[in-house]
Amino acid sequence: MRSTHDDIARFLTPHAARHHLSRRTFLKAGVATTALIATTGVMSARSVAKSGTPTPVPANAVFGGLHIYGVDPSMEPSSITNFHGHVGAAVVDGTGTWEVTGHAPETLLFDTDMRFMQGTFRGTDGRSHEGTFAFV
């Protein structure tokens, strides 16, 4: 996808007539935020060292080896071992339409798993740490 100056201007200065946030705009904002954090040194080596490194839960073969489990009261909602705190989880499913000029619209399916965790955990260094994490 090629971005033009007008695309960037629309992203930075949304029109008052638009009252919704499209997935494309949401993803662009996420990419821009990630790039900003990665290039400005917001997450310096000092801040990472202070926060500790969490130990992930064991890999789940059902999810292709990822270190997460389903959103279900009988399953582990956190993706961190030795975690004590608050966890929020949501599964959002739906459809979208992909339209390309000159072609018939195509219906696309999406399935997302989003979680946040805030609390204390035992890091790989064996010490207790506090942290906030998100998984999208």
pLDDT in tens, 55-109: 888 887 877 777 777 777 777 788 888 889 998 888 888 888 888 899 999 998 8
Position 18 scores a pLDDT of: 53
C-alpha–C-alpha distance, residues 48 and 130, integer Å: 12
Q: Round to the nearest angstrom and report the end-to-end CA distance of the chain.
A: 23
Q: For residue 8, what pLDDT band results from cuts at 50, 70 and 90?
A: low
Position 115 scores a pLDDT of: 85
104, two tokens: 């018939």
Position 51 scores a pLDDT of: 57
Residue 32 DSSP SS3: helix
Q: For residue 2, what pLDDT band results from cuts at 50, 70 and 90?
A: low
Position 22 scores a pLDDT of: 73
C-alpha–C-alpha distance, residues 85 and 136, integer Å: 19
12, two tokens: 């930075």
Residue 9 has pLDDT above 70, yes or no: no
Position 16 scores a pLDDT of: 44
pLDDT in tens, 12-63: 555 544 556 677 777 777 777 777 666 665 555 555 545 578 888 888 787 7
